[in-house]
Amino acid sequence: MYTIMLIVVNNNIRVEPNTSESRTYDQRTHMQKKPLSLKQTKALSKILLDKPRDRALFHVGIDSMLRSSDLRYLTVNDVTDSQGVVREECSITQQKTKKVVTFNLGETTREALQTWIEVSDKGRNEYLFSSRTKNYGGKRLKEQPISQVQYQRLIKGWLESLGVATDDYSTHSLRKTKASAIYDATKNVEAVRQLLGHSSVAATSAYLGIEQAKALDIAKNHRMF
């Protein structure tokens, strides 16, 4: 279950996720979720061509490898230079660890993001991906980032458009996609650890399911009958 907290400050309502519950949700589910394949990634990029917000969100989710709690709170200022041009290399402070992580945005991602910023006419301090909920209980809300629930629903919808069963996928799937591809190509867990902003190689191995995959391979090759 995902819940939110309504915080009232000076008669303004602010919506925030209940982080204690969302952390439990993440710990319970993220290791089960699959990354997207290269074929799925390319197909979704094409399918989302006429949806600039969704395409930008999808591309940044894949390329940045950020946790959804950091991705959803990105602002225009986080990813653009003083001229408003999307940067290739960006750095933010992670909400979970309070440590700085640097991520790279490829050319296609930068183009998708630049298009979204321009068509949405967003200011430098605005969230890149805002919630469309503007009012609650008759009161106008301050700008909010897209919620975890809304983000998850979008991913589910994208995968359904491919005819994919969505049970094995979540917001973690986007974060894990590029990380898994890099590990498969290089077997460099330390490099992937740094890119994901993990505190240890063990955490990265567990997140990618490396040891579990090895164990399953051993089991598959050890026939009893």
Structure-token match 């408003």, residue found: 84
Q: How far apart are alpha carbons 86 and 79 in whole angstroms? A: 6
Tokens of 4: 């939110």
The tens place of each residue's pLDDT in the chain, 225 residues long, gives 444 554 444 445 555 544 433 333 344 344 468 999 999 999 999 999 999 999 999 999 999 999 999 999 999 999 999 999 999 999 999 999 999 999 999 999 999 999 999 999 999 999 999 987 665 566 666 789 999 999 999 999 999 999 998 999 999 999 999 999 999 999 999 999 999 999 999 999 989 888 877 777 777 787 787
Per the structure, the count of domains in the chain is 1
CATH number of the domain where residue 163 is located: 1.10.443.10
What's the confidence (pLDDT) of residue 32? 65
* Domain encompassing residue 34: 4-221
Torsion of CA 90, 93, 96, 99, to 10 degrees: 110
| Secondary structure (3-state) at 151 | helix
Q: What is the pLDDT of residue 133?
A: 64
Q: What is the pLDDT of residue 186?
A: 93
Residue 78 φ then ψ, to 5°: -65, -25
Tell the residue number behind the tokens 């990813």, with chain if given: 79
On whether the CB atoms of residues 102 and 91 are closer than 8 A, the answer is yes
